[in-house]
Structure 1
């Protein structure tokens, strides 16, 4: 099955689960407080629904427009903009007749469910699959270091010993920590065997992001070919698995990061020197229009530095909560990059979300992505923007503090403004996806 289809199926399944549970977060407290819920829909039923059935006082259904879902609560100004109902005298079963504290609980229910669900999924992932541990021993060749980091004292081939005084258990998280969490100091071991503790500035993450060095530290891998797909330039030129690339166009290409940089930035034919069975030879080939020649290299991880940590349920609960906390923390902290020119162009819509899922069906990958999206939805929905849950919460808190309830007319206008803001963001984000798909 095509990876695009697999990703799309996972995206729809994940969003369906999250939307239904989010809306249940509103539905259940509404029913507890004896508030009438007129509709409960997965996706939007603009003009018509794919399916609907009335049970009791609520119509349950599935809409055709997969941009979210909703519950229509009687006596509430929401996306339905039911002005006719709001013009009638308030009824005891309506949202507007309930005390402010009950309305607040109803409104924060969806966000609460998404947040707790994300934490719960992480707990179950750790309990079921554990977590990989990747220590410095896994990298016999050290790391390739971006120029932006070398100015602080890092050197090519460094290995990482400690981060802020602690031995890291998963060095694959190091780039995220450098960009988002902030690291004060890193102890490294240079190729000459000496060790050094390098102090880092507070502004390092923003500097790296603006410079485009979003992965400044990567495992250093030799340019030894692992596979050479047929019908690609490398195979047609005679390169084979096991060949060791020495240079390209006279430039050193013995390491994979050098190899990829030269191929990506060169124009015209490539003169490639390689070693096979101790003998050097040269081939000339041309890269494809997207600067590919069709070769893959094998990872050179040392198994001594790789392990798997398993958790009992009692251990998984605090570990999963901690994992969820740092996921939320890192997402919120990364939002500062949106206010840069580069960050604004990287906002994505459904296409970007779909890329979070694995290309082949993998339950661990599916649930990891679902937990992340659930936590993101919780944060985004609590933002104080009219038409979002956070907008309603903002006005409810104002009412509870001031003792004055905003007028229905004000709420209608606020809902309309929020709706247009959300539509604008939706169009911009998905427009970025389309632009990248065409031009990148």
Structure 2
């Protein structure tokens, strides 16, 4: 329920402010706003109240929202008023440049919202990120797919397309968007080029988690029940210091030492509650003893830059801009059939499932900023039915001096709505199906 509450809160904030962008621009240019709705009221609304000339309401379908402007063909597909002469309060009666500003109002507010959130966050809790330099000080660890496409445990990524991103979470995305990756492998420089198919395999199977911090210590996370380790008396939190007296540098060198010491009985020196203990156990034919090791904690590599308001203003603007750039780059990845990245696109149902199951305001506001830029980018796309589609036709009008006829505008809007509703049905259907499968199996 907390995940549902979080996604509804985030969507409500984004939709209300996005539509308010259209609303305030319309009011500035004296365009009548007939409706302002949070969520869609297809067939009926949950709540509605008319104040002045505007009906304010909440729809039952949480897939967006809208403002209905007099004299405009929008998602309501109301064309009756277009049969009469334009009135001064109607959208169609305004100059093209005013209509363009009204159409872009929601996108502008989304970008400003992200900037404002980051400004407040950077100047209060700080600018937090996992440092690329710190996390790969001893090299990175990779999942099975990462290793299958050419990475090796211990590799250090020194440049992606000639640059090194200081923020690790973005650097991993850079790798998936890259043309050339430069790697330091035990002091030797290696170049790696990922094919679209390899990128697709990483995206579908491991995602951004294909590369992660190499654990410095072999720390026990849990014990396999009825295993040799359970019989030997190992406990969660024990830190393995050596194998048969041989020390190691990191988790993977520990595994190498363990493999070198293949014996029926092995002695592990462990650190428990500040004391060193020697524990004997038996390895099976795969040289396993029944221990699940704790992954590295990324908070160990977290950087927190406390910024003044003066410093936070440009830093927040840069953050919002870079997010918009990443949305553009990721869209190119999604459009590539070979990566099949389009299969990973999520509806609000899928997004809700990846949210934490506890309320965390810092996470929520950061996610809201991220989502706000994503919403701005989606609405910029020149697809009929989206703000970008309306803006495109308005720009064409400003250049050519010609406008679409009512009939043509109606057809274009209908075509756009069919595309959008089809995409929504596919993404919602996929995520709902996956939810049912996960619950049943």
1:379 aligns with 2:350: no
1:226 aligns with 2:221: yes
1:142 aligns with 2:155: no
Q: How does 1:283-432 map to 2 (within 5 A)?
A: 295=292, 297=294, 299=296, 307-338=303-334, 339-340=336-337, 342-355=340-353, 357-432=355-430
- 1:182–1:87 CA distance, 2 compared to 1 (3 A): same
Q: How does 1:202-281 map to 2 (within 5 A)?
A: 204=194, 206=196, 208-212=198-202, 214=207, 215-221=209-215, 223-227=218-222, 240-241=235-236, 242=238, 255=251, 275=268, 277-281=277-281
Match of 1:19 among 15, 24, 27: 15
Q: Is the 8 A contact 2:161 2:178 kept in 1?
A: no
Match of 1:198 among 174, 190, 198: 190
Q: How does 1:48-67 map to 2 (within 5 A)?
A: 48-67=44-63
CA distance in 2, matches of 1:173, 1:101: 37
The CA RMSD measured in Å over matched residues stands at: 3.7
How far the C-alpha of 1:299 sits from its partner, in A, is 2.6
Q: Is the 8 A contact 1:44 1:62 kept in 2?
A: yes
How far the C-alpha of 1:35 sits from its partner, in A, is 0.9
CA distance in 2, matches of 1:68, 1:371: 17
Aligned residue in 2 for 1:94? 90
- 1:155–1:236 CA distance, 2 compared to 1 (3 A): closer
Greater displacement, 57-66 / 220-229: 220-229
TM-score under structure 2 length normalisation: 0.79
Aligned residue in 1 for 2:73? 77
CA distance in 2, matches of 1:368, 1:257: 37
How far the C-alpha of 1:138 sits from its partner, in A, is 5.1
CA distance in 1, matches of 2:327, 2:311: 24
Match of 1:175 among 172, 176, 185: 172
Q: Name the SS for the 2:402 alignment partner.
A: coil
CA distance in 2, matches of 1:165, 1:401: 39
Q: Is the 8 A contact 1:120 1:320 kept in 2?
A: yes
Greater displacement, 94-103 / 141-150: 141-150
CA distance in 2, matches of 1:274, 1:6: 46
Aligned residue in 2 for 1:40? 36
Q: Name the SS for the 2:384 alignment partner.
A: coil
- 1:179–1:44 CA distance, 2 compared to 1 (3 A): same
Number of residues paired by the alignment? 401
How far the C-alpha of 1:216 sits from its partner, in A, is 4.3
CA distance in 1, matches of 2:253, 2:318: 34
Structure 2 gap ranges (5+)? 244-249, 256-263, 271-276, 285-289
Q: Name the SS for the 1:54 alignment partner.
A: strand
Aligned residue in 2 for 1:265? none
Structure 1 gap ranges (5+)? 248-253, 260-270, 285-292
How far the C-alpha of 1:135 sits from its partner, in A, is 5.4
Deviations 1:1-48 (A, max 9, x none): xxxx22211111111111111111111111111111111111122232
Q: Name the SS for the 2:177 alignment partner.
A: helix
